[in-house]
Amino acid sequence: MSILVPPFELGRLNREPITPVGGSAHPVVRGRIHLPVRAGSVDGYIKLLPRQAFCVESVCAWLAREVNLPMPEVFWVTVHRNRMRGLWPFGDDDAQWCFGTAALPFAQAVRLDSQSPAALSSMYGLDSLMLAKIALFDELIGNDDRHDGNLLLTTHKTIALIDHERALGGAGLELFSSFPPPGPNRLLERVRVLPLTDRAVLKVPLRSFCIACSAAVLRLPYGQLVSDDALHEPMRRYLEQRANRLINTLDHVLGIPDLPGVNPPGLQPPAL
């Protein structure tokens, strides 16, 4: 993989303790990531992913950053086999690039199903606009795995997105395939049932967000993010097709037709 112009800061996992973390389909460890550019280190999580899943995580992290969605800081981390003490999914390779994120001290999972919209806004800082942006981003990348464990509340009352390895058809489906389509988008369903007045307020900023997502897809640096040249074209096609449908998805969810000026009070959405 070319790293002449790396899209993320480079680091090394080379300090003890290195602690395995359970609950994931692929090995994850927690440890100190040494960052040569900073001449220092940060506490972080490192995912030992197969090459395609590494590319998927990297592409999704790049897109999230480009459209200003909140994520922990992302690193590409060199991991050496002799430090993993048997936890090594990469065969005879002595070292591998892995996907890492900075740890968020005391971060907690956002319990979506048990919280009202008012509570999500006041307790978690997750207002309707941010919730809808995350939902549309998941539609863009084909992520059907936005469960409570990968939407985190930081100590600063901000939200952070993590864990996108199942995006782009990456788990159990043919990579970059929309058939079968991803499962239900839980956050988008929450947007769908918001009061009409709330959805009307969201329409303009969310259309702008959809345009920003489409623009980000068009400038995605596949050569820097994706190690296998054969994946560039199917990935580009997958993302551009989903980006082209994003505004239609938004209009269907909001259920508010285009009218000149401000939609009149009392406008009822069409049946969905």
Q: How confident is the model at residue 5 (pLDDT cuts 50, 70, 90)?
A: low
What residues have CB less than 8 Å from 216, skipping those under 6 apart? 63, 66, 67
Token pair for residue 85? Answer: 């003490």
Q: How confident is the model at residue 154 (pLDDT cuts 50, 70, 90)?
A: confident
Q: Is the pLDDT of residue 202 over 80?
A: yes
Cα distances (Å, whole numbers) of residue 119 to 115, 122, 123, 124, 210:
6, 5, 5, 7, 26
Give the pLDDT confidence of 118-127 residue by residue, as tens digits.
877 887 778 8
Q: Is the pLDDT of residue 174 over 60?
A: no
Q: How confident is the model at residue 269 (pLDDT cuts 50, 70, 90)?
A: very low
Q: How confident is the model at residue 176 (pLDDT cuts 50, 70, 90)?
A: low
Torsion of CA 118, 122, 124, 126, to 10 degrees: 60
Specify the DSSP element, H or E, that contains 78: strand 74-80
| Stretch 182-200: mean pLDDT | 85
Q: Is the pLDDT of residue 236 over 80?
A: yes
What's the pLDDT score for residue 175? 56
What's the pLDDT score for residue 4? 52
Q: Is the pLDDT of residue 260 over 70?
A: no
| Stretch 195-215: mean pLDDT | 95
Among 222, 251, 246, 245, residue whose Cα is nearest residue 234: 222
3-state secondary structure of 112: coil
Cα–Cα distance measured from residue 9 to residue 11, given in angstroms and rounded to the nearest whole number:
7
Beta-bridge partner residues of 4: none
Q: Is the pLDDT of residue 179 over 80?
A: no
What residues have CB less than 8 Å from 199, skipping those under 6 apart? 191, 254, 255, 256, 269
3-state secondary structure of 159: strand
Cα distances (Å, whole numbers) of residue 95 to 8, 68, 165:
18, 32, 21
Token pair for residue 206? Answer: 């969310």
Q: Is the pLDDT of residue 261 over 50?
A: no
pTM, 2 dp: 0.87
What's the pLDDT score for residue 271? 43
Cα–Cα distance measured from residue 45 to residue 146, given in angstroms and rounded to the nearest whole number:
19
What's the pLDDT score for residue 2? 47
